[in-house]
Structure 1
Amino acid sequence: MRQRIYVWEIPVRLTHWINAISIVVLSFTGYFIGNPWLFVAYRESYAGFFMGSIRFVHFAAAFVFMASVLLRTYWAFMGNRWSSWRGLFPFLTKRGRQGMLHAFQYYFFLRRDPPETIGHNALAGMTYAIIVLLYAMITFSGLALFGDLHPESIWAKLTGWVLMNVPSQQLRMVHHFIMYLLIVFAMYHIYVAWLIDMEEGNGLMSSIFSGFKFLRPDQAPDWIEPEAEAAAAPKVSSHAD
Structure 2
Amino acid sequence: MTAHVDKRSADDEIADLSTAKHHLQVRQTAIYVYEWPVRLWHWVNAAAILVLAVTGYFIASPLPSLPGEASDQYLMGYIRFAHFTAGFVMAAGMVGRIYWAFAGNVHARQMFVLPFWSGKFWREVLIEAQWYAFLRDYPKKYVGHNPLAQLAMVTIYSVGSIFMIVTGMALYAEGAGKGSMFDMAYDLVIPLTGNSQNLHTIHHLGMWAIIVFVMIHVYAAVREDIMSRQSMISTMVSGWRMFKDDGK
Q: TM-score, normalised by structure 2?
A: 0.80
| Cross-structure match for 1:119 | 144
Letter in structure 2 aligned against 1:82: H
Describe the shift of the 1:214–1:167 C-alpha distance in structure 2 as closer, same or farther (beyond 3 A): same
Pairing 1:139-158 to 2, within 5 Å after superposition: 139-151=165-177, 152-158=179-185
For residues 108 and 165 of structure 2, the distance between their equivalents in structure 1, rounded to whole angstroms, comes to 22
2:238 to 199, 210, 215: 210
| Cross-structure match for 1:77 | 102
- On the 8 A contact 2:141/2:229 being kept in 1, the answer is no
| Cross-structure match for 2:6 | none
1:173 to 198, 201, 218: 201
Letter in structure 2 aligned against 1:126: L
Pair 1:135 & 2:161 matched = yes
State the secondary structure of the residue aligned to 2:135: coil
What are the superposed Cα offsets for residues 56-78 of structure 1, whole Å, 9 maximum, x if unpaired?
11111111100111111111122
For residues 118 and 222 of structure 2, the distance between their equivalents in structure 1, rounded to whole angstroms, comes to 28
Describe the shift of the 1:106–1:90 C-alpha distance in structure 2 as closer, same or farther (beyond 3 A): farther
What are the superposed Cα offsets for residues 86-138 of structure 1, whole Å, 9 maximum, x if unpaired?
77414332332232121022122222112321111001101001211111111
| Cross-structure match for 1:57 | 82
Listed as ranges, the gaps of 5+ residues in structure 2 are 1-25
Greater gyration radius = 2
For residues 146 and 217 of structure 2, the distance between their equivalents in structure 1, rounded to whole angstroms, comes to 13
Please state how far the C-alpha of 1:183 moved relative to its aligned partner.
0.7
Pair 1:160 & 2:213 matched = no
For residues 75 and 187 of structure 1, the distance between their equivalents in structure 2, rounded to whole angstroms, comes to 25
Listed as ranges, the gaps of 5+ residues in structure 1 are 220-241
| Cross-structure match for 1:7 | 33
Please state how far the C-alpha of 1:37 moved relative to its aligned partner.
3.1
1:187 to 190, 205, 215: 215
Bigger relative CO (Cα 8 Å, ≥ 6 apart): 1
For residues 99 and 110 of structure 2, the distance between their equivalents in structure 1, rounded to whole angstroms, comes to 10
Counting matched residue pairs gives 218
Describe the shift of the 1:202–1:168 C-alpha distance in structure 2 as closer, same or farther (beyond 3 A): same
| Cross-structure match for 1:239 | none
For residues 162 and 201 of structure 1, the distance between their equivalents in structure 2, rounded to whole angstroms, comes to 44
State the secondary structure of the residue aligned to 1:213: strand
Describe the shift of the 1:150–1:209 C-alpha distance in structure 2 as closer, same or farther (beyond 3 A): same
Q: TM-score, normalised by structure 1?
A: 0.82
For residues 135 and 45 of structure 1, the distance between their equivalents in structure 2, rounded to whole angstroms, comes to 34
For residues 86 and 67 of structure 1, the distance between their equivalents in structure 2, rounded to whole angstroms, comes to 17
Q: Over aligned residue pairs, what C-alpha RMSD do you find?
A: 2.1
- On the 8 A contact 1:5/1:213 being kept in 2, the answer is yes
Letter in structure 1 aligned against 2:236: I
